[in-house]
Structure 1
């Protein structure tokens, strides 16, 4: 890539396309046109809220976490793109991002970031004090995550630690504490993210290799399928263990089995040389996360 792709070259539909032209670059900077990232940030929080439910998760807390996921995912994307704007210009899939293309300059991006963080803080202070502390602490991994691809082959592992912070936060918001069940659920979510983000990274594998960006996709290459099986197997085992620690009913395991089958299908059909397929398998994890949330709720309610 030579960095000549512009944001205006991309055809945009949906709600983002309906925005005034001056606002669209900022919506794109927040990835409002790609809601899968918001789902994958929200779902671990929903799991934590469901695990701490008595028996249903509090609808007000669910609404706060959903809105907070939109805002903080947007903030995380701004931080990521500020770090990566020079790299993004060299990658086909990211060259048209607003900072990489010049549609938004860094100063305006930092202004948007300040606004999003202020809104996020307003949401955060509605929660239990322990959840507030955890939310503030989450800014540390969010800020340094984009550097990981430059210094380690395991940026996907660091994303797993960062993106699933909602598990202990949600549990703390619902219960005022964080116990072993919540921490084991967090560990399961970590391995889930490690797997699905490795699939995601295969979309950019060739460009990343050329420009020196590291990932588990490059590290494991043709051995990605067994690595993915280990990640997803560990995720299901740990999530099941969290259910045992929380005393969930047998219905939790019945529904969790459906999520395990969805993950197994990803392992079986994966073709790391088929970038569109990798994108579809990555996005399919929204349904996986929803099924796991349903499993936790079933285990509490039934």
Structure 2
């Protein structure tokens, strides 16, 4: 297994907990695999805890303290490390996303979060929570926009999205919002910050008709896949599962329009929405 990545403990409670776990494990003279056996998890999972791509569960923290002799440190600090701006079912995936070197995503019915504009994100959040106070909606939008800052880096992560045509045809927030959203995607593509393919209606049946897929690769940890439903989410690192979903994603890219044709379609649709707003 590759060596663990040096984290900045001051960057977040999660990074602090990961750094302390690595320090305590090494002080005990245990490998990741040996510690994993004592915690009833895999060595890979221990490595992900240390790298900050997985969260230490509150029910596991007392056992970590017992095995490593850390006098309750992990139990006391686990709650703070697990605080997040994101919904519980998505928090771990969002934190893993922030450390990924490559993200490959298939989106069925909405534009992926990393490609959204504030206006589009606001319309989505309001649809999810129609009775929420405006302050709550703006808080959710701000958290989503914070995620998009990953793309401010000119090289990493690689973002490759396959977007179902249905997501582009669904008028979310109105024609003006959609025109802005599609122009934003086109701009990211033209600047080389995203590869986007459209899966057209004409492709017919395909390998991921049951839901979305997000595959994430890391520099120093095994790849993971995230499955999301309505108010639910699951992060998986099982090698067989990840391999199967990667194959599914490859089938989707084969069925989708090329990046060049996808860009042309997205820009045409943006113009159509703009004309609809201003006839």
> What TM-score, normalized by structure 1, do the two folds share?
0.26
Q: As a proportion of its length, which structure holds more helix?
A: 1
Q: As a proportion of its length, which structure holds more strand?
A: 2
> What TM-score, normalized by structure 2, do the two folds share?
0.28
- Greater relative contact order (Cα 8 A, min sep 6): structure 1 or 2? 1
